Amino acid sequence: MRKLSYIATTIVAIAFMSGEAQAEAPAAKPPVSVELSAYQITLNQKGESSAKPLKQAKPNDIIEYRATYTNNTAKSVKGLVATLPIPADTQFLAKSTPAQAQASTDGVNFAAMPLKRKTGSQTVNVPLQEYRALRWTIAELPAGKSITVTAQTRVNSTASAVGQ
């Protein structure tokens, strides 16, 4: 149960930090706010997917994380960098929106996907289970508008179930 608590902790921490910032300065909104949410993805008999808010995650579940960035100013924000963490005990499924995301294995160094590394004299793809964050550079976010970035993951089969 402890393994997947990172998912719930990440969501709670972001919500807490947003609330704390607002409590310190209730009259001032941050120029750009972010809301993180998690959805369980299921497929029907026709292969069509549907999403419902995540209440509990168990091994092999598909979870879609969504980070919605909102411009709270009267001017466009240029060069916005949107980052979405990939929780431990999950594996990135190479499904993200917008598609041109960069990936990272450490949350610091990002590169175009697929990530590559040298193994001896060969260059090989980094396994998707080692991806820990995605990043998008949003050229311009107009005043009062929002953009949502998403990533789908699968809960590792060795993880314990956890409720939110």
Taking each continuous run of H as one helix and of E as one strand, the counts in the chain are 1, 13
Q: Give the C-alpha separation, 115 to 56, whole Å.
A: 30
Residue 3's pLDDT is what?
46
Residue 18's pLDDT is what?
43
Q: Which domains does the chain have, with CATH numbers?
A: 5-158 (2.60.40)
Is 135:67 a contact under the CB 8 Å cutoff?
Answer: no
Q: Give the C-alpha separation, 153 to 92, whole Å.
A: 4
- The DSSP secondary-structure symbol of 36 reads E
Residue 26's pLDDT is what?
63
Residue 25's pLDDT is what?
52
Q: What is the DSSP string of 95-129?
A: EEESS--EEESSSS--EESSPEEEETTEEEEPPGG
Q: What is the pLDDT along the chain (164 residues), one digit of tens a residue?
A: 444 444 444 444 444 444 444 445 566 889 999 999 999 999 889 989 899 999 999 999 999 999 999 999 999 999 999 999 999 999 999 988 888 899 999 999 999 999 999 999 999 999 999 999 999 999 999 999 999 999 999 999 875 655 54
Report cis status (omega within 30 of 0) of the bond before 98: yes
Whole-model pTM?
0.77
Burial of 7 (0-12, 13-18, 19+ CB in 10 A): buried
- The DSSP secondary-structure symbol of 145 reads -
Residue 36's pLDDT is what?
95
